[in-house]
Homo-oligomer: A and B are copies of this chain.
Amino acid sequence: MKNAVVTIKDVAKATGVSPSTVSRVIADNPRISPDTKKKVRKVMKDLGYHPNVNARNLVAKSTKAIGVVLPSSADKSLQNPFFPEVLRGIGSITHQLQYSMTLSSGGTESEIFTEVERMVYGSYVDGIILLYSRVNDRIVNFLREKDFPFVIVGKPYDHLNEITHVDNDNFTAGKDITSCLIQQGHERIAFIGGSRDLFVTMDREAGYEAALKEAGIAADKAYRIHTEFLKSGGREAVEQLLSLKVRPTGIVVTDDLMSLGVLSTLEELGVDVPADISLVSFNNVYLSEITSPSLTTVDIQIYQLGAQSAKALIEKTQTKDEPAKRIIIPHQIVHRDSVATSNGAGT
């Protein structure tokens, strides 16, 4: 393979110093004379020396690596462009700080658990980022028990004040985007969300409710639909809404990918967006620019969610003092073409 493995000793010999001196040069120890530093560095370069991580990790008891755990891949949700984007965000920080990132690869929940165990026990990584959040999660319990550094992207179900997490203010986001619709004169506004036991859904829904309330609009239970994430593109949800005696003129959908399905169904059923029904959504993934119409959506800054979580985690692994338990990434509404002023028709 490699033409030879040049170690710290080789460099030492070639430079005429001791291995420890070389080691100190690598660490940029101030107690080494600039002169020898330069000499050693030159030799390192000439010989093509590169430190061996494993040896270093072994003694340092740190790997400068973080593990990223995706939801079980059985979950279709992995197809959500959300993930590549958080990974990019995480990567930006790991790269900058010279960390590496290891991905979980288990297919089922229990496979993933086993992997996390290995990561922790085998000292594969210094800390872990969880890209999902489930009720009473084994992995979270395990990590807490072991007191192993981890952060959650999203909102943890328990111990909200003890688990470091990076999230949006989904309540406010939901409220803001709903208000958008209200400001355009909409009053009959429906809500299509994912599973009811996802905090994202709940929070965004609560925001939706609050906006209605604030505007003095009565909430209608029939206008609120929860559907399996991605399930047949939200077709049922839409059909259900359209079968109502009084159709909504606006819909709040909790995810761009879901919105795509809703949009498709709406189109097939001959409902024009935004002329007949306005649509607003969340996430602002690339998708939302190229649908027809393009989506007015909440930019939740997925990239930042990733970056900040990595930053917080690494900080956690390095210093004794904990970072903030709750890190909120600001959101922002991106206005596109899926919203129109309500003509009040259909009342």
Interface residue ranges, A against B (CB under 8 Å): 1-2, 48, 50-55, 57-58, 63, 65, 68, 73, 76, 78-81, 83-85, 87-88, 90-92, 94-95, 100-107, 111, 115, 117-119, 121-124, 146-148, 230, 232-233, 260-261, 263-265, 267-268, 285-287, 289-294
Contact = CB atoms under 8 A, between A and B. Distances in A.
Contact of A292 (B76, B103, B104, B265): B265
B63 A58 contact: no
Contacts of A65: 102
Nearest to A92: B107
Given A146-B1, A290-B260, A103 B91 contact: yes
A338 to B, nearest CB: 12
A340 to B, nearest CB: 15
A53 B87 contact: no
Given A58-B55, A87-B103, A123-B53, A264 B292 contact: yes
Contacts of A101: 102-103, 105
Contact of A95 (B78, B81, B107): B107
Nearest to A285: B79
A146 B1 CA distance: 7
A252 to B, nearest CB: 19
Nearest to A145: B3
A236 to B, nearest CB: 13
Contact of A54 (B58, B73, B100, B260): B58
Given A1-B147, A79-B81, A146-B1, A94 B88 contact: no
B91 A84 contact: no
A112 to B, nearest CB: 9
21 contacts: A52-B58, A52-B123, A54-B54, A54-B58, A78-B85, A79-B81, A79-B84, A80-B84, A81-B81, A83-B84, A90-B105, A92-B105, A95-B105, A95-B111, A100-B105, A100-B119, A102-B103, A232-B290, A260-B260, A263-B292, A267-B267
Contacts of A94: 105
Contact of A148 (B1, B95, B121, B124): B1
B52 A73 contact: no
A101 to B, nearest CB: 5
A107 B95 CA distance: 8
A88 B78 contact: yes
A123 B57 CA distance: 12
A328 to B, nearest CB: 24
A134 B88 CA distance: 21
Given A1-B146, A95-B111, A101-B105, 15 more contacts: A1-B147, A1-B148, A2-B147, A50-B118, A50-B121, A54-B58, A58-B58, A91-B104, A91-B106, A100-B105, A101-B103, A102-B102, A233-B290, A260-B287, A264-B292
